[in-house]
Amino acid sequence: MPHPAARFAWTWLPLSLYVALIFSLSSIQTIPFNLSFDGLDKLVHGLEYSIFAFLLLRALATLAWPTTSLGTLFFCWILVVVFAAADEIYQGTVPGRDSSAWDALADVLGAVLGSLIYFGLSGLRVRKRSPDTPQGAGASS
């Protein structure tokens, strides 16, 4: 088992940097490229948030959750919804940008996809802790 500080940096630092990247991109007043393809901006939102949810779930999975991995997945989705809403509200305050409920929906759908990809790649399985399983002995990454 790696040192706790190294494990924390390995999982939470990439997430923190990615969150900073998302808000940096949201702060740009004029998008430097053309998203004229109908729906392309929604695909970009979905991709952006699939990566975010992948990193978020990866970080959350390192915590010693006493509940099931399904609870961790739902907690990830709740955090994504809050973050997507905050990001869209923030974008609405940036000159030249607007906020959109459709963008937030694309964010959430992308996040669901990204978190399910993480589940598939990590080998985590949605299961309930049996009564004889010790506290904190749930799924790990």
- Which two tokens mark 3? 């040192």
User: Is residue 96 in some structural domain?
Assistant: yes
User: Is residue 135 in some structural domain?
Assistant: no
CB atoms within 10 A of CB 105: 15
Q: How far is Cα 54 from Cα 111, in angstroms, rounded to an integer?
A: 7
What is the extent of the structural domain holding 62?
Answer: 38-126
User: Is residue 14 in some structural domain?
Assistant: no
Strands (E), 1-141: none
- pLDDT tens-digit profile of 26-83? 998 877 666 556 678 889 899 999 999 999 988 888 876 544 477 788 899 999 999 9
User: Is residue 113 in some structural domain?
Assistant: yes
Chain centre to alpha carbon of residue 132: 32
69 and 57 Cβ atoms separated by less than 8 Å: no
Q: What is the pTM of this model?
A: 0.77
Phi and psi at 108, nearest 5°, equal: -65, -45
Domains contained in the chain, number: 1
- Which two tokens mark 33? 């490229």
Average pLDDT over residues 86-96: 92
User: Is residue 9 in some structural domain?
Assistant: no
- pLDDT tens-digit profile of 4-17? 778 788 889 999 99
Q: How far is Cα 123 from Cα 102, in angstroms, rounded to an integer?
A: 32
Average pLDDT over residues 85-100: 90
